[in-house]
Amino acid sequence: MKKLAFTIVLFLSMLTSLKAQDIYYGPKVGANLTHFFYSGEDADYLKDMSKLKLASHLGVFAEIVFDDFFSVQPELLYSVKGARYRISDDDNFKSSYVLKYLSLPVVVKYYVTKEISLEAGPQVAYLLSAKNIETSEDLSSNLGEEAASIDIKNQMQSIDFGATAGVGYLTKTGFYISARYTFGILNAHKTLADENTIMHNGAVQVSFGFNFQ
């Protein structure tokens, strides 16, 4: 974690040292529609069981403007990812992977117009926590179902590296909207790798923010 923090600070310092016309800052928040995609021996079986999961993200960004067309936007986000699972022959049992990350996407933005930008860049994320939340209708709780929260952080990779791409819209008042798809390049699961199966994170992200100009 200390190495990651040092890398983030060093990288942001290098960006701000470049010759930029302006630097804008702001908060952002939004929704994640997340899933896992698989390759390897059990890929088809796991794909059939897994479903999309609705989650969220929030954080801050800095847009470093170089000219009327290009800018670089590093972000620091608290982002929740994962997927839902359901075993076809047991309608009472449900499972949900909840993975919480501290993410650093850095996107290059090309402004097609003054408002619309195309965005793409790398992303690195540090795993804060990982839970497998299982529910069953056989027993009742305050939600009407039994819930078991199982810590699976030791089964997951601590670092997730990937890429993100999408489109953004910036209004004259500074209100910012973006839609991106983020996908993990590295294997996110340790134990599945031992079974010759690879699991990657994937997410559609819709964000709302404000650019203090």
Q: For residue 41, what pLDDT is reported?
A: 75
SS3 193: helix
Give the Cα separation of 180 and 168 in Å (integer): 8
Please report, for the chain, the start and end positions of each structural domain, with discontinuous segments joined by +: 2-210
Give the Cα separation of 165 and 53 in Å (integer): 20
Give pLDDT tens digits for 43-57: 777 777 788 999 999
Q: Which residue has the tokens 């056989």?
A: 138
Rg (CA), the chain: 19
pLDDT digits (tens), the chain, 213 positions: 555 555 555 555 555 555 567 888 999 999 999 999 888 777 777 777 788 999 999 999 999 998 889 999 999 999 999 998 876 555 666 788 999 999 999 999 999 999 999 999 999 999 999 999 877 655 444 455 556 788 999 999 999 999 999 999 999 999 999 999 999 999 998 877 666 788 999 999 999 999 887
Give the Cα separation of 51 and 34 in Å (integer): 9
Q: For residue 140, what pLDDT is reported?
A: 43
Phi, psi of 173 (to 5 degrees): -85, -5
Q: For residue 134, what pLDDT is reported?
A: 79
Residue 203 DSSP class: E
Q: What CATH class has 2-210? A: mainly beta
Q: Which residue has the tokens 């997730």?
A: 160
Give the Cα separation of 177 and 179 in Å (integer): 7
